[in-house]
A and B are shown apart, each in its own frame.
Chain A
Amino acid sequence: MINYILKIEGISKRFFTNKVLDDINLKIKKGEVHAVVGENGAGKTTLMKIIGGIYTSSEGKIIFDGCKVNFSSPQEAINSGISIVHQELSLVPKLKVAQNIFSHREPVNRLGFIKWAELRYKAKQILKHIGVDIDPSTLVGDLSVGMQQIVEIAKALSQNAKIIIFDEPTSALSEKEVNLFYQVINDLKSKGVTIIFISHKLTEVFKISDKMSVLRDGKLIGTRKTKETSIEEIIKMMVGRELGNLYPDKSSHIGEKIFSVKGFSRKAKFEGIEFDLYKGEILGFAGLVGSGRTEVARSIFGAEKPESGEVILEGKKVEIKSPRDAIKNGICYLTEDRRNWGLFLEKTLRQNIIAASINKFVNKRGFLKNREIKEKAKHFIDYLNIKPADDKILILNLSGGNQQKTLLAQWLNAEPKILIADEPTRGVDVGAKAEIHKHLRKLVESGVGVIIISSELPEIIGLCDRIAVFNEGKITGILEKDATQEEIMKYATL
């Protein structure tokens, strides 16, 4: 008899009339690292939230450690030994590490006063247990995102979790932090803690999981032992069909120089950044998180101010002091953080599509040309295959992939000469990812210069014609398209 710590039997979840999870059956062994993969909207996060007591299921039951459980709040789940490390960190930046680890479970005396010394001591113990050296009195807001993630894990451990659920744990971590994270996972596993985690990064899933389950459209497609499956099989299960070539063909013709950046510097962020962009090529910015790629892009775009440096577009020097100047000159920037910096979630698809180009849709006296706006929105919905094809739907009702396509539409609509796309496929499912890649390639072929910033090396290698590698605020090498992952990593960590 195998000892299953968690058995999920016939779980379904409906939001109003919409069935998000449909009869999920899953068994997870004690001490197993179990990955849950699937496209956006497949129901992974919902399933995890049901296990963690944040949502309640509409049907079915969960058997945890041999007992049927029915959590009605995250607190109950935590008390039973199931903790979630959330995708958006759930820490309070203005409080100390120790307070965050023991949030609402601080050691107190009989009158409810916090015993500070004991709190610090206990926090220190747990951090030591994980093997990191963080002062428990540090404010969480002063830690790097990676360290914050570690604090989250410490929090889960302090709850004596038997199962820890991670939702996209590494999406914001630097390479070094990712390795520390893998170590912690292995360590936890050896101590008999069961790990369930959601990830979009299949390479990562293959590296650390024992088993993986694939969800699609709210149904469990299958569970495989990691050793006995392949990336191709998992992708096929995820999208329900074979993807042909993952990336579009590379450029057939590289033309003249259209854009260059010279001597870009900003104290403590980046220094002496220089590169050229040629017609018909996609230039990739590779590097670790925090290597200065996004800052350079935002500075070119005028969203931040560089201390020195110039931008030359089509042979002429351009002055860019604000995003407005950049857009006027045809330099566009597609942000890495669509929810906070890119989209207008409570506005309609149509309004979002014209957001960066309102000035193109007004007449001489500044009045909106509604017919043109409507036609343009319809055009982009068809062109990018945005679903649902209703230009009056609010963006927050769209899936991640369709939101990202909307963001792309927003910038295509601004008719860029140069488009800098920062993590253009972050948090996007495999199908939409391929579509976005195809459109970026098409854009280049129409004569637009495209720069891609991506933390996924396969994407950089698969899509780009040349690769500029960033390392601690400098470009350490510009590689040709046949570069390997090892080569890039060498320049990135030099």
Chain B
Amino acid sequence: MSLNEKFRTITKVKNLGLLTTIVLIIIGMAIFFPRFLSPINIEILGMGFVQEAIMALGMTLIIISAGIDLSIAGVMPFSAIMVGIFLNNNFGITVSILLALLLSALVGFVNAQMINRLKVHPFICTLATLTTLRGVNLVITKGETVTGFPPAFYFFGQGRVFGIPFPIFLFAVMAIAFTYLLKNHKYFQQVYFIGGNINSARYSGINIDRFIIFIYVLNSILAGIAGIITASQYISANTGFGIGIELRVITVVIIGGVSLSGGKGNIGGTILGILFLAIINNTFVQTGAPTYWQEVVYGSMLLIAVFLEEYIGAKREGTGVLKRWREFML
């Protein structure tokens, strides 16, 4: 079992590393910027990253299944725009939201169908829907911003539940549910079989196609929710929403320890990843450092996280044999 123990130590240390870094930043910030731990700032911290956080829940499932979904960056503005249009046409808030989410789900369904039927890499399928959707968004809005949201709609981005901003509350509830479901529910557990060994999944009688549909639809709906929240926050919707967000979401998930080759990872790691980037993001706000640096820091963090995991981890196992090529390539 020594290998087993070794493996566990490495995974533990890895999460520990992330956790330690987070704690250190928090302590450092709390010392130099007392404001940092004030309730107001914590709220700013949460709200600054809540869209990414919500989408990261679904992306975790997608990446564990050895897939990827770029189209969320198109779905998020799409849903924001559609809900605006429906509201402007007096569909009522409930119906508008449901319709927007239904349309978002449809995008996920199309993704899944392409992946299942054409047997093409999810990267390409979702790249195609992303490109198409961005175009669709422009066509619908003619590049203009959608406005005219009724005040009752503001709740989803600005309202409060038990004193907590609604988006954060919603995320917290979903995060708890996702953690528990992924860990313990038979249906959700299928993702580990599909990502870990697709033949095993097939021979165990798992309906792979249906599960792929499930996770891509789920992921799209989450992106749709993020879009609605954004629209409600800004009381407007435009095609500029969500540019680059797919990459931030993927970064969060990867930093959280989900492996792109599938079969490995959990929601807990993703939540740590979210926390980490949210704090970095907030640090910039608090220190008044130019926000331009954010992207550089995100990128470096991603590289460092993966470097530590993959390279140092492999070295530590001490076999002296580098990973086989196919283990890490696309």
Contact = CB atoms under 8 A, between A and B. Distances in A.
A100 B1 CA distance: 18
B321 interface: yes
Interface stretch (A56-64, A105-113, A363-371): A105-113
Nearest to A78: B205
A139 interface: yes
B199 interface: yes
Contacts of A93: 196-197, 263
Which interface residue of A88, A94, A114 has the most chain B CB atoms within 10 A? A94
B7 interface: yes
B203 A139 contact: no
B200 interface: yes
A415 to B, nearest CB: 26
B185 A92 contact: no
Contacts of B184: 113-114, 116
Contact of B206 (A88, A104, A112, A138): A104
A95 B1 contact: no
A103 interface: yes
Contacts of B89: none
Contacts of B1: 138, 142
Interface string A124-161: 00000000000000110010000000000000000000
A106 to B, nearest CB: 5
Size class of the A contact interface (CB-based, 8 Å): 20 to 34
Nearest to A115: B184
Contacts of A94: 192, 196, 263-264
Contacts of A84: 203
Interface in A299-355: 304-305, 307, 340
Given A112-B186, A304-B320, A103 B4 contact: no
Contacts of B4: 138-139, 142
Nearest to B190: A104
Interface in A162-205: none
B202 interface: yes
B181 to A, nearest CB: 8
B173 interface: no
B3 interface: yes
A122 to B, nearest CB: 14
Nearest to B206: A104
B192 A75 contact: no
Interface string A233-275: 0000000000000000000000000000000001000000000
A95 B196 CA distance: 8
B276 interface: no
Contacts of A114: 184-186, 189
A407 interface: no
B263 A74 contact: no
A484 interface: no
B32 interface: no
A104 B186 CA distance: 7
Contact of A305 (B7, B190, B193, B320): B320
A116 B180 CA distance: 13
A95 B193 contact: yes
Interface string A59-101: 0000000000000011100100000101010111111000110
B293 interface: no
A266 B320 contact: yes
Contact of A74 (B7, B192, B203, B264): B203
A111 B200 CA distance: 24
Contacts of B186: 104, 106, 108, 112-114
Nearest to B320: A305
A104 B187 CA distance: 8
Contacts of B192: 92, 94-95, 99
A86 B320 contact: no
Interface in B174-228: 184-187, 189-190, 192-193, 196-197, 199-206
B7, B190, B205, B206 interface centre (most CB from chain A within 10 Å): B205
Given A104-B186, A112-B187, A92 B200 contact: yes
A103 B3 contact: no
Contacts of A113: 184-186
A292 to B, nearest CB: 14
Contact of B3 (A54, A108, A142): A142
B228 to A, nearest CB: 28
A92 B320 contact: no
Interface in B302-330: 320-321, 326
Contacts of B203: 54, 74, 84, 86, 90
A92 B197 contact: yes
Contacts of A103: 193, 200-201, 204, 206
Contacts of B264: 94
A99 B200 contact: no
Contacts of A88: 199
A237 B1 CA distance: 46
B176 to A, nearest CB: 14
Contacts of A95: 192-193, 196
A372 B149 CA distance: 73
Contacts of A90: 197, 199-200, 203-204
Given A142-B1, A142-B4, A266-B320, A106 B189 contact: yes
Nearest to A107: B186
20 contacts: A54-B203, A86-B203, A88-B199, A90-B199, A90-B200, A90-B203, A91-B197, A94-B192, A94-B196, A94-B264, A104-B204, A106-B186, A113-B185, A114-B186, A114-B189, A138-B4, A139-B4, A142-B4, A304-B320, A305-B320
Given A75-B204, A114-B186, 9 more contacts: A84-B203, A90-B200, A92-B192, A93-B197, A95-B192, A104-B201, A104-B206, A111-B185, A112-B185
A-B pairs with the 3 shortest C-beta distances? Answer: A75-B205, A92-B196, A103-B204
Interface of A: 54, 73-75, 78, 84, 86, 88, 90-95, 99-100, 103-106, 108, 111-114, 116, 138-139, 142, 266, 304-305, 307, 340
